[in-house]
Amino acid sequence: MNEYKKSCKDEIHWNKISQLHEATLQISNSCFEFKKLCVALIGISIVALEKLMGNDLDHSYFVVPLLICLGFWIADSTAYYYQRMTRKNMNKLFKLIAEGNELTDLEISEIEVNWKMSAFNLSMSLYFVLASFSILGWLLFYNKFIG
């Protein structure tokens, strides 16, 4: 096993990794906040619609939550994309440090990043569930099963 001797280049890479790690944590917190805000805003909008419309059920009860879901889904998937990009860049720096210290047996996984994966992953399931409820309710209302 080689003894690790930090070089100036390694120090720069470690500083970059530290900054990228902090950015990744901040983005991750933002993604969680997006989900909480989405649910809260849908709840508030339904109460506001009830006050504005009286007790008459109409299309807006289903369209507004659907649009809110869509907006937060786009924002959250964009944040998720950049979170994955920072992790990918961290791994590149880890590889550079490993190569500079002649570590050939260290396995550093390659992180795949694309917009489709960012938009359709397990962490986005809340938006899919909420949107499905809105669409299902809208269809039931449109076909006069509720209302």
Residues of the chain with pLDDT below 70 are 1-2
What CA–CA distance (Å, rounded) separates 60 from 13? 52
> CA-CA-CA-CA torsion for 61, 66, 68, 72, nearest 10 degrees?
160
Q: Is residue 19 part of a domain?
A: yes
Per-residue pLDDT of 96-120, as tens digits, reads: 998 888 887 888 889 999 999 999 9
Report pLDDT for 1: 55
* Count of domains for the chain: 1
Structural domain span for residue 123: 8-142
Report pLDDT for 85: 97
Q: Is residue 57 part of a domain?
A: yes
Best CA proximity match to 62, nearest among 129, 133, 125: 133
Q: Is residue 70 part of a domain?
A: yes
| Confidence (pTM) | 0.87
Q: Is residue 49 part of a domain?
A: yes
Q: Is residue 3 part of a domain?
A: no
* 54 CB-near residues (< 8 Å, 6+ apart): none
Q: Is residue 1 part of a domain?
A: no
Query: What's the DSSP call for residue 62?
Result: H
Q: Is residue 98 part of a domain?
A: yes
